[in-house]
Chains A and B, each alone.
Chain A
Amino acid sequence: MTAATQPTVRPAGLKAPVIRIGVVQWMRRNLFNGVFNSLLTVVVLLLLYKIVPPFVQWAFIDSFWTSTAEQCRAGGGACWSIIPANLRFIIFGFYPYELHWRPFLAMLLLVGLLLYSKNRNHWRRSLLWMWIVGLVVMGTLMKGGILGLTAVESDQWGGLPLTLMLSVFGMVGAYPLGILLALGRRSKLPAIRTISILYIELIRGVPLISMLFMSAVLFPLFLPEGVTFNKILRAQAAIILFTAAYIAEVVRGGLQAITRGQYEAAESLGLDYAQKMRLVILPQALKIVIPPTVGILISAFKDTSLVVIIALYDVLKTTKSALANPVWMGFSPEAYIFVGLIYFVCCYAMSNYSRRLEKELHS
Chain B
Amino acid sequence: MDPQAITTCPRRSGEDKIIEITGMHKWFGDLHVLNDVNMSVFKGERIVICGPSGSGKSTLIRCINRLEEHQQGTICVDGIELTGNLKNIEKIREEVGMVFQHFNLFPHLTIIENLSLGPIWVRKKPKKEAEEMAMYYLDKVHIAEQAHKYPGQLSGGQQQRVAIARSLCMKPKVMLFDEPTSALDPEMVKEVLDVMINLAEEGMTMIVVSHEMGFAKSVAHRVIFMDFGQLVEENTPHEFFTNPQHERTKLFLSQILH
Q: Does A269 contact B (CB under 8 A)?
A: yes
Q: Which B residue sits closest to A361, measured CB to CB? A: B108
B188/A4 in contact, CB under 8 A = yes
- Flag if A269 contacts B108 (CB, 8 Å): no
Of the candidate stretches B42-50, B116-124, B224-232, B235-243, the one touching chain A is B116-124
**Residue among A4, A268, A280, A283 with most chain B CB within 10 A:** A268
Task: Say if the beta carbon of A262 comes within 8 Å of chain B.
Answer: yes
Cα A272 to Cα B90 in complex, Å, equals 7
Is B98 in contact with A268, judged by CB distance below 8 angstroms? yes
A265 cross-chain contacts in B, Cβ below 8 A: 98, 100, 104-106
Q: Mark B183-197, 1 if CB is under 8 A from A, else 0.
A: 000011011001000
Min distance, Cβ B255 to any Cβ of chain A, angstroms? 28
Number of interface residues, chain B, beta carbon within 8 A: 35
Chain B hits for A264, CB < 8 A:
67, 98, 100, 104
Cross-chain contact A1 with B90 (CB below 8 angstroms): no
Does B17 sit within 8 A of A, measured CB to CB?
no
Task: Specify the chain A residue showing the minimal Cβ separation from B163.
Answer: A265
Contact B108 A363 (CB under 8 A): yes
A321 on the B face (CB < 8 A): no
Report B-chain residues with C-beta under 8 Å of the C-beta of A275. 121-122
Chain A residues with Cβ under 8 A from B65's Cβ? 267-268
Total A-B residue contacts, Cβ distance less than 8 Å: 75
The complex places the Cα of A352 from the Cα of B233 at a distance, in Å, of: 63
Residues of A within 8 A of B93 (CB): 267-270
User: Which residues of B in the span 56-113 have a Cβ within 8 Å of any Cβ on A?
Assistant: 65-67, 86, 90-91, 93-94, 96-98, 100, 102, 104-108
Number of interface residues of A (CB under 8 A): 24
Q: How far is the CB of A28 from chain B (nearest CB, A)?
A: 40
Q: Which of A270, A284, A287 contacts B170 (CB 8 A)?
A: A270
In angstroms, Cα B98 to Cα A271, docked, is: 13
| Any B CB within 8 A of the CB of A5 | yes
- Tell me the bound Cα distance from A251 to B207 in angstroms: 38
**Interface contact A270-B118, CB-CB below 8 Å:** yes
- Residue B215 at the chain A interface, CB threshold 8 Å: no
Residues of A with C-beta under 8 A to B108: 283-284, 287, 361, 363
Q: For A272, what are the chain B residues with a Cβ–Cβ distance below 8 Å?
A: 86, 90
State the CA gap A4–B188 with chains docked (Å): 7
Bound complex: CA A126 to CA B12 (Å): 53
Q: Looking at the complex, which one of A1, A269, A363 makes contact with B152 (CB distance below 8 Å)?
A: A363
Measured CB to CB, the nearest residue on chain A to B87 is A272
Does the CB pair A4–B122 fall under 8 Å? Answer: no
Q: Which among B91, B93, B100 has the greatest number of chain A C-beta atoms within 10 A?
A: B93
A-chain residues with CB within 8 Å of residue B100 when the two chains form the complex: 261, 264-265
Chain B residues near A119 (CB-CB < 8 A): none
Interface residues, chain B, with chain A CB atoms under 8 Å away:
65-67, 86, 90-91, 93-94, 96-98, 100, 102, 104-108, 117-118, 121-122, 142-143, 150, 152, 157, 166-167, 170, 187-188, 190-191, 194
10 further A-B pairs in the complex, CB-CB below 8 A; given A264-B67, A272-B86: A4-B187, A4-B188, A5-B142, A269-B93, A269-B122, A269-B167, A271-B121, A279-B117, A361-B108, A363-B150
Closest 4 CB pairs of A and B: A265-B104, A270-B94, A261-B104, A268-B98
